[in-house]
Amino acid sequence: MTEFFTALGNFFLATFEILPALGNIPNVLFILIGFGYFGYWMAQMKKHNQEAGEQ
């Protein structure tokens, strides 16, 4: 079981070594994905509110 956690730790270490080379791109991607999900959520809330008002 410790081998699994060691491999997982090594994977994250390798990932974090790549991030500085990518610069600000991961931050921009996370923000865009977050705004996309927020827009979807707001559209779903609007749809639910409209359905509740029709009854």
Q: Which residues fall within 8 angstroms of residue 26, CB to CB, at 6 or more apart? A: 19
Give the per-residue pLDDT at 54: 66
Q: Is residue 14 part of a domain?
A: no
Q: Is residue 8 part of a domain?
A: no
Q: Is residue 35 part of a domain?
A: yes
The stretches of the chain forming alpha helices (DSSP H) are: 2-22, 25-54
Give the per-residue pLDDT at 41: 98
Q: Is residue 2 part of a domain?
A: no
Tokens describing residue 15: 């990932």
Give the per-residue pLDDT at 20: 87
Angle at 30 between CA 26 and CA 36, to 5 degrees: 145
Q: Is residue 36 part of a domain?
A: yes
Q: Does 3 have pLDDT greater than 80? A: yes
Q: What is the pLDDT of residues 14-52, one digit of tens each?
A: 988 988 889 999 999 999 999 999 999 999 999 999 988
Domain extent, residue 40, equals 23-55
Q: Is residue 40 part of a domain?
A: yes
> Based on the structure, what is the number of domains in the chain?
1
Tokens describing residue 11: 């994977």
Q: Which residue has the tokens 């991607």?
A: 29
